[in-house]
Amino acid sequence: MNSRTICFSISTLAILATCVSAMATDVFGSSTRNEAALIGILYDLKQDQKRQAINQDFQTLLGDFMRDGWNEDVLNRFYRATRPLYTTQVFVPLFGADHAPKAFGVEDIMEPRQWVIHYKGQVRPPTPGTYRFVGMSDDLLAVAVDGKTVLLAEHGGSRLKDHGWRDAPRDQMRTSSGPSVAGDWFPVGAGEIIDLDVLIGERPGGEFGAWLMIQTQGTGYERDSEGKEILPAFQLGECDVPASERCGRKSKPDELWSGVQ
């Protein structure tokens, strides 16, 4: 099997498509390292590294993690899957919450609740400018640039606003799950490299989905029939992003961001 990229469609409560490497195990990422990709690590917030049970409040812990500059020491006492996955986008269809443990090969030892995946890497935009991330999730999607939280998109019952992060500004890009969340604008200069962290997670179990887009300040975007902007998915590798009943119509970016090794 070669390492070419393939696309496949997945039908759940929503219809999405995602691209993964031909060596990939799942939409959460590929087991084959890609120089352009973010590395993702799955943590179980219910047990420690010796697999002893821990009673830890999901929102409080992740609030502490973000408030402490996305310090991985906050997460390191918890059980983590030994095998990382690599992804060039965070655009996950709505699945059962057990899909993430299965993707990382730990479904036999990790219950499908109170888990998070931390993706990280260094990236560079295609052109200098001012950008913001836009996203939605069920339950949690957060993004940090150089250790500072710039986006927090949460589903109702898993709010972190009382634990180290204010309410994120919400725009008018409504979807079947509610409004997308628009994060803070941040400038990036010519040739500048930023540290990028993306956190996705599920608190009670049930279903999970996360969709991350990117917006460039001063750019006019096509709008759909309801006047919603059709934003491009954030991508480090080219992949089709078809229309979705769940998160609205999204597009492929004209220019890709670059992963930096």
Q: How far apart are CA 208 and CA 236, in angstroms?
A: 22
Centre a 10 Å sphere on the Cβ of residue 171 and count the other Cβ atoms it contains. 14
Spell out the residues 6+ positions from residue 225 whose beta carbon is closer than 8 angstroms to its own: none
The H or E element containing residue 259 is strand 258-260
Centre a 10 Å sphere on the Cβ of residue 179 and count the other Cβ atoms it contains. 13
- Which among 95, 90, 89 is positioned nearest to 10, based on CA atoms? 95
Query: Whole-model pTM?
Result: 0.86
- Give the CATH number of the domain where residue 187 resides: 2.60.120.380
Predicted local confidence at residue 242, as pLDDT: 47
The H or E element containing residue 180 is strand 178-182
C-alpha distances (whole Å) from 99 to each of 25, 83, 118, 125, 142 are 11, 15, 16, 31, 20
CA gyration radius, the chain: 17
**What is the phi/psi pair of residue 32, to 5°?**
-95, 125
Q: How far apart are CA 104 and CA 242, in angstroms?
A: 26
Q: Which domain holds residue 176?
A: 5-260
Provide the domain count of the chain. 1
Do 138 and 175 meet the contact criterion of CB atoms below 8 Å apart?
A: no
Tell me the pLDDT of the chain (261 aa) as tens digits.
333 222 223 332 222 333 443 334 468 999 988 878 999 999 999 999 999 999 989 988 998 899 899 999 999 999 999 999 999 999 888 889 999 999 999 999 999 999 999 999 999 999 999 999 998 888 899 999 999 999 998 876 556 766 666 655 555 455 444 567 889 999 999 989 999 999 999 999 998 988 899 999 999 888 877 777 888 889 998 876 645 555 666 777 888 999 997
Predicted local confidence at residue 175, as pLDDT: 47
Query: For 143-183, what is each residue's pLDDT tens digit?
Result: 999 999 999 988 765 567 666 666 555 554 554 445 678 89
Q: How far apart are CA 214 and CA 219, in angstroms?
A: 11
C-alpha distances (whole Å) from 153 to each of 110, 167, 170, 188 are 24, 9, 9, 22
